[in-house]
């Protein structure tokens, strides 16, 4: 069982840290699935407080890591599955954030056995006060999940949604949902094929509807557009406001556009394209009002 990866680009390193920081905000533990060409992180409801949603991130290794070697325990296996503390991972990668104060040359990830299995994060950092690069090593303890338990750690699937809307301003949505959290425990997402998204929060005293009009409409797949005639009516789904708020508050990424897929009365699927091959997903299940 071997894993080795190296990052060289500062921008990617910063993004990678932002992903880890997002996971750390959502839950205590995260699952890292290493495949031949992909790296996945999953934050599960089981591993965190009740108000956090299911979030997973898929990273195409080619994008972030010029070097990425993964050798599973046995040749017929596809993955290495590890469980680790998201907080530790985020702290270990914090050095990559590298504001103006220091610059990072490279960052290596390496699976090692030191008393127990660890992911070693080895960063080579140059601080402004000196010219010499120094090496910062953090050993994040991990638990190796045996193949027999992989079933419960599989990557979730993106649900089929009737409508997908792209919201251009994540910041607006975040502060809005944060305020609606105090008004209603559930939040209704209404989407229409005319490119409109209505966010409805209801309380005994008031009903607050926020209308996003002319939001980018992502055409559904071919087969779904056939039923488009009857899907002319609005699609709506009501979700837990605290969960939605927890998701939006946890996001540490600089991206501004988010895609919201609505599966009528089943779930809301949120997708954040960090890069074309680096995608963060989340599913907010529907609640009954």
Partner 1 sequence: MKCTLEGGNARVIAKAIQSLSKVGKELFIEADVNGLRMRSINPTASAVANISFSRCMFDTFQLPAIGSFCCKIAMKPCLSVFRNMKQVEYCELSIVGNQSKLKVNLRCKLETTKQAVISIMDELNITSNVPTDQSLNSIRGDHKLFMEISNSFNSSEEELTLEATLDTLSAKNYIEGARVNDKFMRSQLKLKHSEFEHYQVAEGSVVTFCIKEFRSFLLFAEALNAPMTLEFDDAGSPFLVKIKKHNDIECLLILSTLSAEDVSISDDYRPQEITMRDPNNTAQKRKSSTPGPEIQQKRRLAEDTTLSDLDTSLFQFRNRRTERPSEAASVQPARMLADGDTIDVVDEEAEEEAMLLAVSDAMEASQIPRPSSTEVCFYNTEDAPPTLMPEDNNEEDESIPQSPERERRHRVRTIFSRCFQNTYVPREPSPNSQVYAPNSDTED
Q: How far is the CB of 245 from partner 1 (least distance, A)?
A: 28
Q: Decide if 82 contacts 27 (C-beta within 8 A).
A: no
Q: How far is the CB of 4 from partner 1 (least distance, A)?
A: 10
Report the residue number, 13 or 199, with the smaller CB distance to partner 1: 13
Q: How far apart are CA 18 and CA 41, in angstroms?
A: 13
Burial class (CB in 10 A: 0-12, 13-18, 19+), 132: exposed
Length of the chain: 289
Q: How far is the CB of 126 from partner 1 (least distance, A)?
A: 10
Q: How far is the CB of 50 from partner 1 (least distance, A)?
A: 19
Q: Decide if 50 contacts 63 (C-beta within 8 A).
A: no
Report the residue number, 136 or 208, with the smaller CB distance to partner 1: 136
Report the residue number, 134 or 214, with the smaller CB distance to partner 1: 134
Residues that bind partner 1 (CB under 8 A): 1-2, 73-74, 85, 88, 91-92, 95, 111-118, 120, 127, 129-130, 132, 134-141, 143-149
Q: How far apart are CA 132 and CA 149, in angstroms?
A: 45
Q: Which residues contact 52 (CB under 8 A, 6 or more apart)?
A: 26, 27, 43, 45, 243, 246, 247, 250
Report the residue number, 15 or 139, with the smaller CB distance to partner 1: 139
Q: How far is the CB of 283 from partner 1 (least distance, A)?
A: 27
Q: Decide if 161 contacts 262 (C-beta within 8 A).
A: yes
Report the residue number, 33 or 201, with the smaller CB distance to partner 1: 33
Report the residue number, 50 or 130, with the smaller CB distance to partner 1: 130
Q: How far is the CB of 230 from partner 1 (least distance, A)?
A: 45
What are the backbone dihedrals phi and psi of residue 204, each rounded to the nearest 5 degrees, phi first? -60, -35
In the numeric block, which tokens belong to residue 211?
A: 């209308």
């Amino acid at each position: 069982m071997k894993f080795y990866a190296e990052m060289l680009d500062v921008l990617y390193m910063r993004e990678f840290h932002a992903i880890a920081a997002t996971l750390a905000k959502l839950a205590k533990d995260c699952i890292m699935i290493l495949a031949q060409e992909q790296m996945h992180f999953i934050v599960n409801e089981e591993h965190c407080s009740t108000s956090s949603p299911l979030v997973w991130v898929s990273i195409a290794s080619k994008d972030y890591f010029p070097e990425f070697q993964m050798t599973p325990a046995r040749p017929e296996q596809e993955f290495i599955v590890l469980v680790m503390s998201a907080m530790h991972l985020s702290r270990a990668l914090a050095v990559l954030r590298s504001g103006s104060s220091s610059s990072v040359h490279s960052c290596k990830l390496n699976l090692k056995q030191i008393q127990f299995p660890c992911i070693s994060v080895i960063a080579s950092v140059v601080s402004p006060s000196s010219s010499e690069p120094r090496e910062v090593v953090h050993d994040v303890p991990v638990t190796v999940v045996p193949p027999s338990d992989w079933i419960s750690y599989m990557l979730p699937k993106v649900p089929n949604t009737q409508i997908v809307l792209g919201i251009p301003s994540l910041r607006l949505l975040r502060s809005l949902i944060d305020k609606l959290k105090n008004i209603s425990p559930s939040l209704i997402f209404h989407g229409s094929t005319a490119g409109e998204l209505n966010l409805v929060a209801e309380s005994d005293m008031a009903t607050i509807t926020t209308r996003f009009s002319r939001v980018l409409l992502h055409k559904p797949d071919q087969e779904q557009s056939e039923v488009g005639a009857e899907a002319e009516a609005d699609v709506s789904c009501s979700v837990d406001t605290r969960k939605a708020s927890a998701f939006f508050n946890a996001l540490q990424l600089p991206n501004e556009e988010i895609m919201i897929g609505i599966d009528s009365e089943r779930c809301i699927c949120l997708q954040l394209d960090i890069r074309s091959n680096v995608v963060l997903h989340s599913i907010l299940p529907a609640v009954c009002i």
